[in-house]
Amino acid sequence: MNEQASTASAASDEAAQYLTVNLGNEEYGVDILAVREIRGWTPVTRIPQAPSYVLGVLNLRGAIVPVLDLRLRFGLAREEYTATTVCVIVMVAGRQFGVVVDAVSDVVDVAPGAVRPVPDMGTTVDTEYLKGLTSVGERMVLLLDVDRLLQPQDAQMLEAALASPEVKAVA
């Protein structure tokens, strides 16, 4: 019994890894366990009547994957896509979706005790999408709650829209 308790305690004390990504001057962390792959930006197929932050869908080895622009999701101005713009494919609740970000940085280890609650700090991002923040060296990293990026109603709308023949490629 004590062995089980110490095993559970050791598991909760282990550092989690986060892929850090950039949006403008801010750095965000995405739980590495949710990340499936990182792709360079390629045009997607637009979905009619999708929310503005849903760029469309891409065919990922036979799976249709919705793609969100994280800048638009957070209410930031859209920027030109450059050579550093990437689409991070994440898996949440058995569903894959892509998140377009300005760039990826690195992978960092974050100890559970190093995660601080998100204060009302006037960041440009609605704190509902954040599960905490941490310091990595001199940098502040905002930890994303990827479960909240694609709302259930958005997922239902996308599935319904995929049946529509009104799709076209966008750049």
**pLDDT tens digits for range 136-156:** 989 999 999 988 887 767 766
Question: CA-CA distance, 167 to 156, in Å (whole number)?
Answer: 17
pTM of the entire predicted model: 0.81
pLDDT level of residue 84 (50, 70, 90 thresholds): very high
Between 128 and 141, whose confidence is greater?
141
CB 28 within 8 A of CB 146: no
| Structure-block tokens of residue 143 | 């930890």
Structural domains of the chain, ranges and CATH numbers in brackets:
16-163 (2.40.50.180)
| Structure-block tokens of residue 105 | 């940085």
> CA-based diameter of the chain, in Å?
60
- Confidence (pLDDT) at 165: 55
pLDDT above 60: residue 158:
yes
For all residues of the chain together, what is the average pLDDT?
83
Question: CA-CA distance, 114 to 128, in Å (whole number)?
Answer: 20
pLDDT above 70: residue 168:
no
Question: CA-CA distance, 94 to 133, in Å (whole number)?
Answer: 26
Q: What is the mean pLDDT of residues 39-58?
A: 89
